[in-house]
């Protein structure tokens, strides 16, 4: 089974310092949904792994998060793409949970759900914490320069084996030939 793990905000859709709090605020990045469809065509199962501390901060609830994800799933479907599962952490940094990236909790859940070792599995993110979580389980960190990616690229703590791409579409093109 081919698996790929994608962060949501800044990778699939536009990010906001004020959080994505409603389906109306969720806007796909150019080419991202088509990239998901291409992954599916090449046999990849696409899993989204996203920190959603807006829940823990009281900015939106589970109903709203589900509505946002419903919009994302439907938008991907309209271009022939499919998202296999969405894993999210609703906690804030102050909660010190095990699931919030850069910790590996969500990645460990993905490995258990699919009964796979994540070594070498591509994990696409735009922030340092996305890449650190990937590295902690042996996944291949792929940085996209959308979202927070341009500033992340300049971080001296960037994992050594991180591959860098302009956006999700460029990363997927490299993965699928």
Q: How are beta strands 122-125 and 2-6 bridged, if at all?
A: parallel
- Residue 7 known to be catalytic: yes
pTM higher than 0.85 for the full model?
A: yes
- Residue 161 known to be catalytic: no
Which tokens in the block code for residue 14? 């536009």
The model's pLDDT over 35-80, given as tens digits with 9 standing for 90+, comes to 999 999 999 999 999 999 999 999 999 999 999 999 999 999 999 9
Sheet holding 122-125, edge to edge: 85-89, 44-51, 2-6, 122-125, 140-144, 163-165
pLDDT at site 100: 98
Selecting among 7, 15, 130, 167, the annotated active-site residue is 7
Long-range pairs, 90-95, Cβ under 8 A, ≥24 = 90/52, 90/53, 90/55, 90/56, 90/62, 90/65, 91/53, 91/56, 92/53, 92/56, 92/57, 93/53, 95/56
Going by C-alpha positions, the residue among 35, 12, 41, 33 that lies closest to residue 77 is 33
Domain ranges of the chain: 2-176
Find residue 124's DSSP bridge partners: 6, 142
Q: Select from 3.90.1300.10, 3.30.365.10, 3.40.50.1000, 3.10.180.10 the CATH code of 2-176.
A: 3.40.50.1000
The model's pLDDT over 105-157, given as tens digits with 9 standing for 90+, comes to 999 999 999 999 999 999 999 999 999 999 999 999 999 999 999 999 999 99
pLDDT at site 25: 98
């Amino acid at each position: 089974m081919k698996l790929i793990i994608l962060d949501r905000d800044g990778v699939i859709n536009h990010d906001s310092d004020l959080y994505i709090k409603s389906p109306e605020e969720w806007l796909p990045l150019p080419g991202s949904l088509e990239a998901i469809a291409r992954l599916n065509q090449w046999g990849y199962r696409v899993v989204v792994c996203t920190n959603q501390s807006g829940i823990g901060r009281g900015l939106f609830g589970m109903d709203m998060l589900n509505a946002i994800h419903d919009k994302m799933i439907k938008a991907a479907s309209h271009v022939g793409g499919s998202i296999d599962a969405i894993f999210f952490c609703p906690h804030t940094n102050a909660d010190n949970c095990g699931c919030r990236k850069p910790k590996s909790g969500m990645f460990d859940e993905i490995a258990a759900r699919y009964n796979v070792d994540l070594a070498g599995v591509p994990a696409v993110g735009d922030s340092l914490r996305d890449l650190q979580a990937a590295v902690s389980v042996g996944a291949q960190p792929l940085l996209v320069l959308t979202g927070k990616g341009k500033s992340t690229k300049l971080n001296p703590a960037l994992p050594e084996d991180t591959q860098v791409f302009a956006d999700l579409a460029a990363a997927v093109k490299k993965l699928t030939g």
